[in-house]
Amino acid sequence: MKILVTVKRVPDPNATIKVKPDGSGIVTDNLKYVVNPFDEIAIEEALRIKEKGGGAEVVLASIGAKESAEQLRTGLAMGADRAILVLADQPLDSLGTARIFEKLAKDEQADLVLMGKQAIDDDCNQTGQMLAALLGWPQATFASKAEALDSDAEKQGLPGVVLSGKSAKVLREVDGGLETLEIGLPAVVTVDLRLNTPRYASLPGIMKARKKELKEVPVASLGLDVAPRVKIHKLAPPPARQAGRKVASVEELVQVLHTEAKVI
């Protein structure tokens, strides 16, 4: 059993993001980068599947500049077995990204690809779906968990994506609640926020990670067409929030809601 987990280097969600004055991108000076939070959940899920038995190998894959090795080392320190970094400096859209992961999933003969439902930098929510389509594999998106995260199952670290033989049982979040799917392997599963709480990398884990294999592959060597079909024309910050206003009494609040906000 081999589980391929995708790991994207993204700006820290707690950092204040500033858009460049010409709208061509974001200001990256002194910006802290982290593992995409949804990918961290995917790594945790893969490790839980592995720890439940059956001898799974957890292989991480990232696409980007050399610096992405930092995020792969974080995943290796959490407990993944080895990592692949596809070196690509050029901009990629979701389809180009999915094509690269398609090649890796085939070359690695992965049984399961675990991915975040979206990357928090471009928020596309489509790479997993595109990958499943390119591979012709079943997919389950938004994997979540029936129990609250403080449940006994979560405290015991049990996986939410359960593999048995050649199939996987996946709980997924839908607007009205949770849906249970059974899909054949190999498959692509994208994970949502409430699937698990990722572990911290321990100090021994960080030491061990330094010796684990991290293979670098130039994107040109894969022989793929990854020219973007999607062009970003401009980024713009959201409008500044209006200042709040204090009212003196409930009567005044009702009056304002009625005459100005017109909501009652």
Ligand X SMILES: Cc1cc2nc3c(=O)[nH]c(=O)nc-3n(C[C@H](O)[C@H](O)[C@H](O)COP(=O)(O)OP(=O)(O)OC[C@H]3O[C@@H](n4cnc5c(N)ncnc54)[C@H](O)[C@@H]3O)c2cc1C
Stretch that binds ligand X, among 58-66, 99-107, 167-175, 223-231 (CB under 6 A): 167-175
Interface with ligand X: number of residues (CB under 6 A): 4
Which of these segments, 45-53, 67-75, 172-180, 197-205, binds ligand X (CB under 6 A)?
172-180
| Binding status of residue 174 toward ligand X by CB under 6 A | yes
Whichever of 175 and 225 has its CB closer to ligand X, that residue is 175
Only one of the segments 47-55, 59-67, 102-110, 171-179 lies at the binding site for ligand X (rule: CB under 6 A); that segment is 171-179
CB of residue 176 vs ligand X: minimum separation in angstroms? 9
For residue 173, the minimal CB distance to ligand X (Å) is 4
**177 to 236, contacts with ligand X by CB under 6 A?**
none
Half-sphere exposure of 5 (CA within 13 A, CB side): 36
How many helices (H) and strands (E) the chain has is answered by: 7, 12
* Residues shown for the chain: 264
Taking the complex as a whole, the smallest distance from the CB of residue 6 to ligand X amounts, in Å, to 19
Q: Which of 134, 19, 118, 6 is nearest to 59 (CA)?
A: 6
| Min separation Cβ 59 and ligand X, Å | 28
Contact (CB, 8 A) for 143 and 160: yes
Q: Closest CB to ligand X belongs to which residue?
A: 173
Q: Which is nearer to ligand X, 174 or 247 (CB)?
A: 174
Measured distance CA(115)–CA(199) in Å, rounded: 17
Judged by CB under 6 A, does residue 123 bind ligand X? no
Q: Which of 128, 142, 190, 191 binds ligand X (CB under 6 A)?
A: 142
Strands, E assignment, the chain: 2-6, 9-11, 33-35, 57-64, 82-87, 112-116, 139-143, 161-164, 167-174, 177-184, 187-191, 214-218
Q: Which two tokens stand for residue 83?
A: 């990592």
Is residue 38 involved in binding ligand X (CB under 6 A)?
no
Q: Which region among 57-65, 169-177, 178-186, 243-251 touches ligand X (by CB under 6 A)?
A: 169-177
- Interface with ligand X, residue 128, by CB under 6 A: no
Is the CA virtual torsion 224, 129, 123, 163 positive or negative? negative
Least separation in angstroms between CB 132 and ligand X: 13
Cβ neighbours for 207, distance < 8 A, ≥ 6 positions apart: none
Here the tokens at position 51 are 């720890």
Taking the complex as a whole, the smallest distance from the CB of residue 160 to ligand X amounts, in Å, to 15
| Comparison of 29 and 175: residue with beta carbon closer to ligand X | 175
Q: Is 175 in the site for ligand X (CB under 6 A)?
A: yes
| DSSP label at residue 71 | H
Burial class (CB in 10 A: 0-12, 13-18, 19+), 241: exposed
User: What's phi and psi for 214, nearest 5 deg?
Assistant: -130, 100
Measured at the alpha carbon of residue 184, what is the angle toward residues 169 and 144, in degrees to the nearest 5? Answer: 30
Site of interaction with ligand X (CB under 6 A): 142, 173-175
